[in-house]
Chains A and B, each alone.
Chain A
Amino acid sequence: MTPADPALRCGGVSHSYPVNGAPVRALTGVSLTVPRGAVTVLAGPSGSGKSTLLRILGCLDRPEEGSVEVEGVETTTLSTRRRRALRRARIGYVFQDPADNLLGYLTVAEHLALGARLRGAGGDPAALLEALGLGARAGHRPAQLSGGEQQRVALAFAAAGDPPVLLADEPSAQLDRAATGLVVGALRELAARGHAVLVTTHDPEVLAVADEVIELVDGVRRDAA
């Protein structure tokens, strides 16, 4: 692997869900690459397969067909245990709902310490918090934070321990304009720190900061369609 190689790559990914016993196609032959140090946005209307693809890229689901490489490692053939280890070491994942990303009984600083410990890394949580504008919130618990702050803490939690890949599923979906601006700033900051950032969204404010936009329609890449 060289720094020029993409952190994340997938090819020909197809997936379907069973609904009342019959399969419903969610993705069809999707291929993409996510470079380091950039914000890549996965856009498309609701039901286009963005979240499904993100979960597959984040090793939270297995595709029915296709390949997924994280840092040059083909993940679809790995055992569940190896995929879990890969998730722990190399992927940071942010869910859409702020409450799904944080543990209510941990302070902000404890979240970052836990994230770093899970990755067996040290790092400087304080610097990350400062960079994301959360320095004054280190001793606060999630319930004491606003929605925008929670989502930025979720990004910091995901980025703690410096995983090369950061995936965020519509991080601004439940935020107002001001909060969204802060989250977008955080995404850019993380990309600037060298993370490969992939975000699903249909928020124009997020789209505006994207280095690359990949659009999905009915489970197919628009340019491929």
Chain B
Amino acid sequence: MPAPWSRAPLMLLRRPVVALAVAVGALLVALPAAAAPLFLSSAGNATLRQLVDASCTWQTGMQLTGAVPMRPAPEAPGDPVGRDLVDRRVELVRAQTGGLDHLGGPVVTLLTTASVGPAPVPDQSLVTLAARDGFGEHVDVIAGGEGRGVWVPDRFAELQGLSVGDEVTLSSRDGRATMPVAAVFRDLRSVPERPFWCSLRETVHGTPLGNAPVYPVAFVSRADLLAVAEDTGASMWIERAVDTGGLTTVGARPAAEGIERLRANTVDSPEPGLFDDSAPYGGAFTSSLADKVNRSELVLAALTGTVVPLAAAGTVAGLVIAAAAGAFWADRRRAELAVLSARGVGPLALGGKAALETAGAVVLGAVAGWAGARGLVAAAGPSPLVTPGATTASLVAAATALVAALAVIAAVAGFRAGRLHDTRPARHRRRARVPWEVLPLGAAVVCWFVLDADVQVRAADAVGTVARIPPRLIVSPVLLAIGLAMLGARLVRWMLRRLRSRPRSMTRPAVYLAARRVVAAPLVASVLVGATAVPVALAGYGATVTGSVDRTMHAEGQLIVGADAVLSLRERAPVPPRLAGRASVATRYVDARLGDTTVHVLGVDPETFAEAAFWDPGLPGPSLVEVLGHLSGGGAAVAGTSSVDIGSVLTIRNQHRELDLLDVAQLPGKQAGYPLVLVDRALLDDLAPAAQPQLWARGDPDEIVAAAATAGLPVSAVARAEDVQASGVYAGITYTFAFLAAVSLLTGVVIVVGLQLYLDARSRARRSASVLLRRMGIGAGAHWRALVLEVGGLLLAGFATGALLAAAVIASTAADYDLNPASAPGTLVALPWPVFAVLAVATALTAVVASAAAQRAASAARPSEVLRDTR
């Protein structure tokens, strides 16, 4: 007789449906367990990538700056100067390679100021002269581009009448060099900014509200620049950009440490005469990579508190399916288990038999679960990159899930086999009366008070804070929904038991059959209702939290800035034609007084301002359109006065104006610190003609800036609403949304699999019933309608229960959806009607498709075989 472990693993091949159920159960256990570490790693890497992309790559990598004197200081006559100094610094940086795999090669920039002559417009002859490695590949050449000479921007060339080949003299105080114009390129100020030039942003564009003059940037070779700077010297930058390809939080850490070593070996303990104080100018070293890595890890920490409980919930849901698969196996092996149990084989041995038989399918399922998790994260995760440590952790999680799934299958199978004979029904009945549902409900309450409610995670060091969805906002509602669903299932079971004993008059056969089938199996029906309610409730709740937090954060960012983009202008200009219908010109004055209180005043065009400014219908008080209507009637509005009466006399430059003030809760552009008074622009023009002109616009900020540049608007600064959330502070929130959506999807899959198991488990009885009913003259159509009513009725009851549960959970937690309570406007709830509609359609579709499949199987049965099959 072959050993059981040699025969058992092959036995499931005879029952492919059971093998499939077991494999799917194991997959559903392994997938969320394995996904958590992969997702967290992916989110961390995506955060790092986002932070790196959002800032200047040279400043993230390394930026070493220092002056280049052309003559040695009297106290250090031997120190290197000029070209020698430049070369030795570059060589020093090049020599540092340890851990710097993710940094590009050094790019050297020398800068000085020079005058170009001859110049027909002499008061605009100054340029910022730059020598930057590889500059020619990063400008739009209009003419020339070959040979030695100076590269001048097109606006400057046009102004001074220069063209390629013209001989010019570049001069500083005593230094000068004569050379031809080698190329004319498009002025860097008139083209969209490219990453290559980001470290020269202030040189090219100046600083907003800065007083330093901004000159056109022209390019020469390093040798020519040093010749021109013979007298004044130059400033020098050595930069290395971060290579984001394959950059992970784990890989970036050695790079950050390598950068710190570079700092230590250059600026902090330099070679004498290169950067130290004995040279005429010391050096400065900048790198933000370490800060960004720290912040990414902080986001990871913030995410862990929500992702891990969600993954655990998903794993538990998978274990429920694995348990159902174990029960399914036991049902399909009932006769054999009954034989063995009658002969004294215990539940432990029968559980072991189940484990041996299902091990192959469980392994396959777990492997598929891990591969699915890896594939999902790669395809739909925040970043396709995961660290090797996360891969190992996910493999360990999948292996643990495998063991857990096998243990659950064995335990359930053994338990069911042990109950085939010699049970104690009286005790079981008593146990069944215990309201176990109070356990998850009690746990929900405990978790609400025990778990962290903080919406921010703070770092131990100085990298700041990041926002997160607090763990209790995830864990407690999930437990609450599960507990209430179980309670609802018990209620359904109780009601069906009451209905079972009542005689029913025969209505239509399909309705009668469906109703009797449901009341005949109250336990199965109630479990199906409860099991459908849980994913519906979780999906509804998750989508509501996602939408509400997103809507609230969006409103906060928009209210601070006022619109998608607000462009500060150096002088007044009309709305560019491309932005007509979604832009408005306003003026802002920041030194006004309302009564005794300092206020900001925003002068707007009441006709067009609502087309450009942000407003959410969920905001309290009168709508923006109503406020603007008040402005059109000569009135004004004020926000941010905290209900304190601060008077109605507006004072600007000693001019006083009595206002018909409407006190409102919010106004777009209301920045922290000062109340904002909204007036008709004509009024502010009258009181403060020099107020800061602004262009408010709705739409893609990049497109708005491009339209303004095309129209020649003198833009001095750009404020974008999206930048309010671009610091990485909210990155964790976004990723939590993605994970919530995935978990909702997973729970949906769980319910579909559960339904299939339910239908399959009853297929034999249904086949017999179908055949018998056919003999009684009830056709296949009526049988199918009965199936649709049976399955669809239960699923729709589950859907309705789930929707009610979601509403209850949302009502009890909505106040916490505001992750930045310090900023207006507070929680704006976004009910996900499309999600509920999709869920309803999916539920109905599932009912129809599952019923059709079951009907098909029943119709295919041969009466002669079915009627002989009495078991």
Enumerate chain A interface residues (CB-CB to B < 8 A). Answer: 18, 20, 55, 58-62, 80-81, 83-89, 91-93, 95, 97, 99-106, 109-110, 113-115, 118, 158
Contact = CB atoms under 8 A, between A and B. Distances in A.
A89 B344 CA distance: 8
A91 B422 CA distance: 14
A173 B338 CA distance: 19
8 contacts: A59-B422, A60-B342, A80-B418, A84-B422, A87-B344, A88-B345, A95-B339, A103-B339
A103 B334 CA distance: 11
Given A18-B425, A55-B421, A95-B342, 19 more contacts: A20-B500, A20-B501, A58-B342, A60-B342, A62-B424, A81-B346, A84-B344, A87-B342, A93-B342, A97-B871, A101-B339, A103-B336, A103-B339, A104-B336, A105-B11, A110-B1, A115-B343, A118-B343, A158-B343
- Find the residue from B344, B345, B425 having the highest chain A CB count within 10 A: B344
B336 to A, nearest CB: 5
Interface residues of B, number: 21
Contacts of B336: 103-104
Contact of A100 (B1, B7, B338, B423): B338
A155 B423 CA distance: 25
B421 A60 contact: yes
Contacts of B7: 105
B422 A99 contact: no
A77 to B, nearest CB: 13
Nearest to A158: B343
Contact of B343 (A55, A83, A88, A106): A88
Contacts of A99: 335, 871
- Find the residue from A103, A109, A113 having the highest chain B CB count within 10 A: A103
A86 B425 CA distance: 21
Nearest to A100: B335
A169 to B, nearest CB: 10
B345 A118 contact: yes
Nearest to B335: A100
A113 B345 contact: no
Nearest to A20: B501
Nearest to B4: A114
Given A99-B335, A102-B339, A105-B11, A113 B1 contact: yes
Contacts of B335: 99-100
Contacts of A103: 336, 339
Nearest to B347: A84
A110 B423 CA distance: 29
Contacts of A104: 336
Interface string B526-565: 0000000000000000000000000000000000000000
Contacts of B1: 106, 109-110, 113-114
Nearest to A55: B421
A208 B212 CA distance: 122
B415 to A, nearest CB: 12
Contacts of A62: 422, 424
A84 B345 CA distance: 7
A61 B424 CA distance: 8
B759 to A, nearest CB: 25
Interface in B337-380: 338-339, 342-346
A25 B641 CA distance: 82
Contacts of B346: 81, 84
